[in-house]
Amino acid sequence: MKKKDVKKISSNMEDYLEVIALLKHKRGIVKVTDISQMMRVKKPSVTGALNMLSRYNLVVHEPYGYVELTLEGAKIARETQKRHNLLTKFLGEVLKIDLRIAEQDACKIEHSISTQTFEKLTKFIKFVETCPEGTRPQWLKSFDQYYETGCRFNCKTHIVKSKK
Amino acid sequence: MKKKDVKKISSNMEDYLEVIALLKHKRGIVKVTDISQMMRVKKPSVTGALNMLSRYNLVVHEPYGYVELTLEGAKIARETQKRHNLLTKFLGEVLKIDLRIAEQDACKIEHSISTQTFEKLTKFIKFVETCPEGTRPQWLKSFDQYYETGCRFNCKTHIVKSKK
DNA sequence: AATTTTTGTTAGGATTGGCTAACAAAAGTT
DNA sequence: AACTTTTGTTAGCCAATCCTAACAAAAATT
């Protein structure tokens, strides 16, 4: 099956898969009620979503039984979570957005970013995290200050000074 | 009317408003066919969307007439475009994502970012653009290299070297 | 002015996704 | 075992979007 033939599922379905994976991980079993609570939708909506996910072969779900992800479903869930975590990290750690808001934004943006953006951003965060200067690179601290005060210290000047 | 009372419109409606504003700006008048082409939907879909936007008082549209944005509609369109441009800039100029892809991503993400993220990112870009080192700050060049080669030159070392 | 072409609307249908009310099944209690 | 509570499904409804086919209005042509 070529890439072009893979029917893309909706953001919504991605969200369901993500939640199912999370519950599976946290509790071992996945029940309609739990999904319902976590997704903040009523139970019939969950039943409906599960039917659709079953049609796409992304979950296995016998009526009144537990919910299981298929391999394909688990894969999509993992990928979605990866995007989610990446974005949360970028917004939270790099930009220092409030965690709650970073989470909310990540939750929505996660369905929209291209592979290329995902990869660039991954590298970018790695670039920030592996900075030899310590936890937070100088230039980012400089940005923090710029954001707070509207002023900036010149990177070069600063470093030269610190060597005195 | 308090903020909480403002009924939020869908991403879709935001897109229509954005396109209408764009056409208004480019051609002076806005016709169903143009919207249809730019949105890549059929004309009946446009008629439908315009009816909905009219109900929300975001456009004025007499049957068979031109389309006009109301003040409120224009405001939403402007804000959406601002988010769009910001994201395109960030992805394109900072991360150097291919322009086409940056555009596509921006187009989707623009509907999802919080005010806080918008503002932080705005400052971030300003921080990058007003860098005293020239067009592209040293740390970003360093990232470019890191992305290309997987290796990084130490910022301090580099600067010290360049002073010899 | 009559005809043709273009443009826009209506009517009717599909899909996704959510809801309530009512019922059925499973689990827990006495 | 019988009853109650919890859990899950079905049925039926609504809204947002999109579509096609058919029609109506406006614009352009002859």
End-to-end CA distance of chain B: 63
Cα first-last separation, chain A: 63
pLDDT band (50, 70, 90) for residue A160:
very low
Provide the pLDDT confidence category of residue A159 given band limits of 50, 70 and 90. very low
Return the pLDDT at B68: 97
Q: Please report the sign of the dihedral spanned by the C-alpha atoms of residue A119, residue A123, residue A125, residue A129.
A: positive
Name the residue range of residue B54's domain.
7-76
Indicate if CB(A74) is under 7 A from strand C: no
> CA separation (Å) from B4 to A101, B1, B7, B8, B11?
17, 8, 8, 9, 18
Residue A56, CA: closest nucleotide via C1'? C16
Domain end point (choices B76, B108, B123)? B76
Residue B99 lies in a domain: no
Question: What pLDDT is recorded for position B153?
Answer: 66
- Residue A138's closest CA among A109, A115, A162? A162
Q: How many domains does chain B have?
A: 2
Domain contains A127? no
Q: Is residue A110 part of a domain?
A: no
Residue B109: closest CA among A9, A119, A113: A113
For residues A32 and A94, the answer to whether their CB atoms sit within 8 Å is: no
In eight-state DSSP terms, residue A8 is P
pLDDT band at residue A5, thresholds of 50, 70 and 90? low
C1’ D8 / CA A19, Å: 18
CA of A55 to nearest chain B CA: how many angstroms apart? 27
- The residue among B109 and A5 whose pLDDT is bigger is B109
* Closest among A1, A12, A3 to A115, alpha carbons compared: A3
For residue range A147-158, list pLDDT tens digits in order.
Answer: 888 777 654 444
* Per-residue tokens: B93: 């100029």
Residue B49 resides in a domain: yes
**Cα–Cα dist B155/B142, whole Å:** 8
- pLDDT for residue A153: 66
Q: Of B54, B76, B98, at which residue does a domain stop?
A: B76
Give chain B's residues under pLDDT 70. Answer: 1-6, 153-164
A58-116 per-position pLDDT tens digit: 999 999 999 999 999 999 999 999 999 999 999 999 999 999 999 999 999 999 999 99
- Do the domain assignments include residue B118? no
The CATH number linked to B32 is 1.10.10.10
In a domain, A42, yes or no: yes
| Strands A67-69 and B67-69, bridge-based pairing | unpaired
| Strand C at less than 7 A from CB of A52 | yes
Is A133 within 8 Å of B112 when comparing Cβ atoms? no
Question: What integer best gives the mean pLDDT of chain A?
Answer: 89
Could you tell me if residue A160 is inside a domain?
A: yes
CB-nearest partner of A105 from B101, B117, B156: B117
Q: To 5 degrees, how large is the angle CA B86–CA B88–CA B92?
A: 125
The crossing angle, in degrees rounded to 10, of helices B155-163 and A155-163 is: 90
Binary contact (B137, A116; C-beta < 8 A): no
Q: How far apart are CA B162 and CA B159, in angstroms?
A: 5
Q: Is there a domain that residue B48 lies in? A: yes
